Amino acid sequence: MNQLVERILDLPPRQRVLLLVGGVGFLFFLYAYFLYWPRAELIAQQEERRANLQADRDRKAAIVANIEHARQEVARLDGDLRRASLNCPTPRRFPIC
């Protein structure tokens, strides 16, 4: 091990810097290959989930902003349902076969 360290220290400064940069680059590559790239699919899924949740939040915010209009729409639909249920025949109106 000491021989390796001595060989590195005997190199000119330019080659030592290149060796250091190469070592850091190699460590970055190992990190990316073993940790980051395998999680790319998970990251993509999380980003898609976040986008869907933001869209859902925006949709709900728009509903809350127009709550009075939504209440009027619910009241109108409730009235339509009651009118439709009055027009539907009841079991008493059908003759028994």
Domain residue ranges of the chain, discontinuous segments joined by +: 2-85
- pLDDT recorded at residue 59: 93
Counting beta carbons within 10 angstroms of the beta carbon of residue 81, is it exposed (0 to 12), middle (13 to 18) or buried (19 or more)? Answer: exposed
| pTM (predicted TM-score) | 0.43
Amino acid letter at 74? V
- pLDDT recorded at residue 95: 61
- Compute the 3-state secondary structure of the chain and give helix, strand, coil in percent, each to the nearest 5: 90, 0, 10
* Residue pLDDT tens, the chain, 97 long: 789 888 888 889 899 899 999 999 999 999 998 888 888 888 899 999 999 999 999 999 988 888 898 899 999 999 999 888 887 766 666 666 5
- pLDDT recorded at residue 31: 92
- pLDDT recorded at residue 4: 85
Whether the Cβ atoms of residue 19 and residue 8 lie closer than 8 Å to each other: yes
Burial profile 34-56: b = 16 or more Cβ within 10 angstroms, e = fewer: eeeeeeeeeeeeeeeeeeeeeee
